[in-house]
Amino acid sequence: MNAERKPIVEMKNIEKHFGAVIALAGVSLEVYPGECHCLLGDNGAGKSTFIKALSGVHKPTAGEIFFEGNPMSFDRPRDAISAGIATVYQDLAMIPLMSVSRNFFMGNEPVKKFGPIKLFDHETANRITMEEMGKMGISLRGPDQAVGTLSGGERQTVAIARAVHFGAKVLILDEPTSALGVRQTANVLATVDKVRKQGIAVVLITHNVRHALAAGDRFTVLNRGKTLGTAQRGNITPEELQDMMAGGVELATLESSLGGTV
């Protein structure tokens, strides 16, 4: 990474305690525009808690967050969203009962004014939804098609398109590929690539090393609430990443019995 580029997000020594449980014990991370930064870690490593601190869901117990160089403190998810940090959650990205267009504009509905009355501008919402979906390569029956009728990968893509459309500068993806098949995973990772090329910083959370290596520029590994370091693409092998995630020793013996990288 060249030295002149400034990180869009800098998180320094983030700590988060839930009662007696220390979920994060001083985690630091920098994300640059146009890069895909993968956050890896096994279950319970603190990945989700960490990104929730960035997206305004949890307030960190200690530590600082800098966004575009300025210290930030998000009290609510809305604050983070309006600053340009959008999060696409693993299973909570969409409401299946609602139409694609209603989901697309959830929380950001376009309005048309009739005197003092503000109405939801369905025409604009429907038009933009169809356009954005077309760009991402998804064909809908119509903007009023319920999200419940879409596949998992399509839902992720709708959520990513939504975040990008609303001017996200930083896009956080929480295990976008965990429940997807091979083809759909490839589609989602291709979407991530498109987004990154638009100059948006992507934070990709995953515990799948192969998915991380396919899409990521840099990799940070979390283990039990701590950072185990950040690696550049090309400077690390899948085996090394895997070992860092799981603590190494035990997995090495497991792997030999399974015949390869998990």
Partner 1 sequence: MSPATTPELGDERVKTRSRFREALIRPELGGIAGIILVFFFFLLTAADSGMFSAAGVLNWSIVSAQFMIIAVGACLLMIAGEFDLSVGSMIGFAGIVIAILSVQMGWPMWMAIIATFVVCVGLGAVNGWLVIKTGLPSFIVTLAFLYILRGLTIFAAIATTRKTIIGGVRDVAEGDWLAALFGGKVLTGLFQWMGNIGLIDTFERGTRKGQPVVDGIPMLIVWALALVIFGHILLTRTRFGNWIFASGGDAQSARYTGVPVNRVKILMFMFTAFCATVFATCQVMEFGSAGADRGLLKEFEAIISVVIGGALLTGGYGSVIGAALGALIFGVVQQGLFFAGVESSLFRVFLGVILLLAVILNTYIRRMITGDK
Q: Does 18 bind partner 1 (CB under 8 A)?
A: no
The Cα 214–Cα 156 span in angstroms is 17
Is residue 73 part of the contact set for partner 1 (CB under 8 A)? Answer: no
Site for partner 1 contains 198 (CB under 8 A):
no
Among 22, 25, 83, 190, binds partner 1 (CB under 8 A): 190
Burial 124-133 (b: 16+ CB within 10 A, else e): ebbebbbebb
The reply to whether 22 sits near partner 1 by the rule CB under 8 A is no
Q: Does 83 bind partner 1 (CB under 8 A)?
A: no
Q: Which stretch binds partner 1 (CB under 8 A): 3-11, 30-38, 88-96, 197-205?
A: 88-96
Stretch that binds partner 1, among 17-25, 102-110, 206-214, 254-262 (CB under 8 A): 102-110
Part of the chain binding partner 1 (CB under 8 A), chosen from 130-138, 197-205, 208-216, 243-251 = 130-138
Q: Is 120 in the site for partner 1 (CB under 8 A)?
A: yes
Q: Specify whether the CB–CB gap between 247 and 258 falls below 8 A.
A: no
248 binds partner 1 (CB under 8 A): no
DSSP 8-state assignment for residue 252: H
Contact residue for partner 1 among 47, 102, 196, 218 (CB under 8 A):
102
Binding residue for partner 1 (CB under 8 A) from 77, 179, 217, 255? 77
Cβ count near 39 (within 10 Å): 30
Q: Does 187 bind partner 1 (CB under 8 A)?
A: yes
In whole angstroms, what is the distance from residue 151 CA to residue 153 CA?
Answer: 6
Q: Are 207 and 43 in contact (CB under 8 A)?
A: yes
Closest CA to 11 of 49, 54, 56, 57: 54
When the beta carbons of 55 and 242 are compared against partner 1, the nearer one is 55
Look-up of token digits 């991402």: 136
Do 133 and 99 contact (CB within 8 A), yes or no?
no
Of these, 118, 123, 237, 247, which contacts partner 1 (CB under 8 A)? 118
With b for 16 or more beta-carbon neighbours within 10 A and e for fewer, the 169-193 pattern comes to bbbbbbbbbeebeeebbebbbebbe
113 is a site residue for partner 1 (CB under 8 A): no
Residue in this structure with the two tokens 């998992």, named with its chain if needed: 152
By the criterion CB under 8 A, which residues form the site for partner 1? 55, 57, 76-78, 81, 87, 89, 92-98, 102, 105-109, 111, 118-120, 122, 133-134, 137-141, 146, 148-150, 187, 190
